[in-house]
Structure 1
Amino acid sequence: MRIAYFINQYPKVSHSFIRREILALERQGLEVQRIALRGWDGELQDEEDIAEREKTRYVLQDGVKGLLGPMLQVLRAEPRRFFAALWLSLRMGLRADRPLPYHLVYLAEACRVVQWLQAFSAEHVHAHFGTNSTEVVMLANVLGGPAFSFTVHGPEEFDKPQFLHMGEKVRRAAFVAAVSSYGRSQLYRWVAHAHWGKVKVVHCGLEPSFHAVAPVAAPAAPRLVCVGRLCEQKGQLLLLEAARILAAKGVPFELVLAGDGEMRAQIDALIAEHGLQAQVRITGWISSAQVREEILAARALVLPSFAEGLPVVIMEAMALRRPVLTTFVAGIPELVRPGENGWLFPAGAVDELAAAMADCLAQPADVLQRMGDAAYQRVLERHDIDTEAAKLAGYFKACA
């Protein structure tokens, strides 16, 4: 079966789970066309990402002006379909998260995408994230392209579903994949009961090469690692407030912030303000292999997120036999079990976060080992990429 994947930006350092999914589908015997809006200009760390970039076609490679030709070609060839898609794009631009001109650009992007889909003889197209990428494949479908589906991750789709016209997208889709039961429940809110059967739970997964490594004992050093983009929703500012509490109490610790992002300067400033330069280190963007090494060099992963879907980095840490300290947010409690494979605390609660960090740092090696082993078993049961890709492949084939 020939399918296409459409992503806003691919490959991307923080979206390795999409690459894993595509490669797993190819192992299932599907042919996968990669299409993205952009992604050719970002710095890539992984050799696999660099290889994926060579396989990907980019809609905006020639800028917005490069879309004019495909749009005129589709208008001449399929005027009825074009005006139906234009009407839909105008409707999508009403009370939307972005102004109307953006939605007209999405139509132009869809004109180029549908030509590539038809040239590839794609039988289905799948998008990740229920934002502009899904709107483009939906418009491509109206223009004569194949049936489409999309994966909803959150939290953005849950923050503004009405402005993203989530209900319209679900109604027109062949099916929708949610990465957690929580995500599925949020989609149920925006469509009639008759469409609930379209919403499937398909977890993000890990390939065996990630977790099939010899167990590494938790270090004696009191080190914790937080992996993720430096942004408001991940809660790193709260994490630094908790670190300040530990430092004031004389608790020895090291904290590694693995990642980079728009809040880097603010986080650097808060580290300096609290005098935490000796305890806190920021790595900047690093490769998947370096993320693995940072997790293995820590006693546990800490992720004090304010909003999430179900973070892939939690799965990665658990697959490496490290317990997780994180929040009662979205799909996280479906994976992390307090006292068994990690700590859960209320989002935004700095004292509870500091207490969880202190408790983790105080645990003897055998307790951390037991929790890490339990984490490993739990994540392998729920997040094997080949198992999840087989689910997706079945849904794709059922739509053909």
Structure 2
Amino acid sequence: MKIAYFINQYPKVSHSFIRREILALEAQGAQVSRYAVRGWADAVVDPADVAEQGRTQYLLRQGLWGLLPAVLACALVAPGRFCAALKLALQVSRGADRPWPLHLVYLAEACQLLRWLRQNPVSHVHAHFGTNSAEVVMLAHALGGPGYSFTVHGPEEFDKPQALHLARKMAHSRFVVAISSYGRSQLWRWLPHAQWPKVQLVHCGLDAAFHNVPVVPVPPAPRLVCVGRLCEQKGQLLLVEAARLLRDAGQPLELVLAGDGEMRPEIERLVARYGLQPHVRITGWIGAEQVRTELLAARALVLPSFAEGLPVVIMEAMALHRPVLSTYVAGIPELVQPGVHGWLFPAGDVQALAQAMQTCLDTPPEALQAMGRAAHQRVLQRHDAHTEAAKLVALFGQDDTKSASPC
């Protein structure tokens, strides 16, 4: 089985689940070609990501002008298909959140992608995210390329499905992957009932690097860790507010914010305003090994997200025998059972967040260890990378053997 993966930016620190998925597919015998728009010059710290950079072809490595030969070839060799793809690109640009010239860029990217697919034929193309990556593979298909599918993660696709023309992208696809039951329900909203079977449920998976690690006892230190991009949807500002409430109540606390992002300056200002510097530490971007180290050094993961799909870091924490504190948002309650694997609280409720943190810090390490064991078993049952990759192999195998036609 020869398939292609197409991602907007790859590899990326926050997209390690895509790398795991690709490697799990290859372990099952699939040949996977990697294509991305950008990412060749990004600084990555994980050795596995460094290796993936060398295996990936990048559409914009030669700039926009580098796409021109592929555009001319498609327009001259298959003018009918090119006109149909151009019409589709302009249709998708109407009401979109990005201006129409960018959709012409996506068409040019699709022409280059198709050229590579002709040089290295595959039976199917899979994209991650229902944004511009799904549009590029849809346009490549319209130009004569192989059938495609894409995985929808959320929350962006759920926030603006009409601006992303999600229904049109699903209509042209062979199938669509949702990573949670909640995500599947959101996709069903934009499909006729007869097409609901097109949406398939495949969880993000974890590999043995997280499964088969020695059990590290929960530390007695009052330390919690939040792993994720420092951005609005992850709720770190609310977490700082909750930390202030606990500090003012006399609760010893060390809060680690593992990650970086556009909201870091604002978070640092709030930490300074409340005098929480002795209690809050921001790590900046760290690799997978450091993420594991931070999780194992904490009593639990805390993730007060406002919007999500199903965070992979929750799976990682549970695999490492750590309880989870998070919100009743999207697919999170499908994995984390309150009182069994951790604590859930309403999104945006700082008092409920502070109470969950207090309860976790008051819970004896032995009880947290028992919750961690239950969490480990839960995530092994639902999120094994090879089990989930087998589902994808079966779906890809249902595709026909059509490769990209000459262009």
Please report how far the alpha carbon of residue 69 of structure 1 lies from its aligned counterpart in structure 2 after TM superposition. 1.2
> What is the distance in 2 between the residues matched to 1:391 and 1:332?
21
Counterpart in the other structure of 1:354: 354
Please report how far the alpha carbon of residue 365 of structure 1 lies from its aligned counterpart in structure 2 after TM superposition. 1.4
Letter in 2 for 1:262: E
> What is the distance in 2 between the residues matched to 1:117 and 1:333?
40
Counterpart in the other structure of 1:344: 344
> What is the distance in 2 between the residues matched to 1:146 and 1:278?
56
* Counterpart check, 1:83 vs 2:83: yes
Letter in 2 for 1:246: L
Structure-to-structure mapping, 1:147-166, within 5 angstroms:
147-166=147-166
SS of 1:36's equivalent? strand
> What is the distance in 2 between the residues matched to 1:238 and 1:64?
41
Please report how far the alpha carbon of residue 209 of structure 1 lies from its aligned counterpart in structure 2 after TM superposition. 2.0
Counterpart in the other structure of 1:94: 94
Please report how far the alpha carbon of residue 389 of structure 1 lies from its aligned counterpart in structure 2 after TM superposition. 0.3
Please report how far the alpha carbon of residue 339 of structure 1 lies from its aligned counterpart in structure 2 after TM superposition. 0.2
> What is the distance in 2 between the residues matched to 1:209 and 1:24?
12
Structure 1 stretches of 4+ with a deviation exceeding 6 A read none
> What is the distance in 2 between the residues matched to 1:158 and 1:178?
12
| Structure 1, gaps ≥5 residues long | none
> What is the distance in 2 between the residues matched to 1:92 and 1:236?
34
Letter in 1 for 2:238: L
> What is the distance in 2 between the residues matched to 1:206 and 1:34?
20
Counterpart in the other structure of 1:375: 375
Letter in 2 for 1:165: H
Structure-to-structure mapping, 1:242-257, within 5 angstroms:
242-257=242-257
Counterpart in the other structure of 1:115: 115
SS of 1:183's equivalent? helix
SS of 1:276's equivalent? coil
Please report how far the alpha carbon of residue 10 of structure 1 lies from its aligned counterpart in structure 2 after TM superposition. 0.3
Counterpart in the other structure of 1:20: 20
Letter in 1 for 2:322: R
Counterpart in the other structure of 2:405: none
Structure-to-structure mapping, 1:26-41, within 5 angstroms:
26-41=26-41
> What is the distance in 2 between the residues matched to 1:187 and 1:97?
19
Counterpart in the other structure of 1:51: 51
SS of 2:398's equivalent? helix
Counterpart in the other structure of 2:397: 397
Deviations for 1:191-228, whole angstroms, at most 9, x for unmatched residues? 11111001001000000122201100000100000000
Deviations for 1:179-200, whole angstroms, at most 9, x for unmatched residues? 0000000000001111100100
Give the TM-score normalised by structure 1. 0.99
Q: Identity over the aligned pairs, expressed in percent? A: 66
SS of 2:149's equivalent? strand
Counterpart in the other structure of 1:331: 331
Counterpart in the other structure of 1:70: 70
Deviations for 1:278-311, whole angstroms, at most 9, x for unmatched residues? 0000000001000000000000000000000000
Give the TM-score normalised by structure 2. 0.98
Letter in 1 for 2:366: D
* Counterpart check, 1:172 vs 2:191: no
Counterpart in the other structure of 1:311: 311
* Counterpart check, 1:205 vs 2:205: yes
Let me know the Cα RMSD of the aligned residues: 0.5
Counterpart in the other structure of 1:191: 191
Please report how far the alpha carbon of residue 366 of structure 1 lies from its aligned counterpart in structure 2 after TM superposition. 1.4
> Number of aligned pairs?
400
Counterpart in the other structure of 2:404: none
> What is the distance in 1 between the residues matched to 2:194 and 2:60?
37
Please report how far the alpha carbon of residue 250 of structure 1 lies from its aligned counterpart in structure 2 after TM superposition. 0.4
> What is the distance in 1 between the residues matched to 2:209 and 2:154?
27
SS of 1:54's equivalent? helix
Please report how far the alpha carbon of residue 268 of structure 1 lies from its aligned counterpart in structure 2 after TM superposition. 0.6
Please report how far the alpha carbon of residue 231 of structure 1 lies from its aligned counterpart in structure 2 after TM superposition. 0.3
> What is the distance in 2 between the residues matched to 1:148 and 1:60?
21
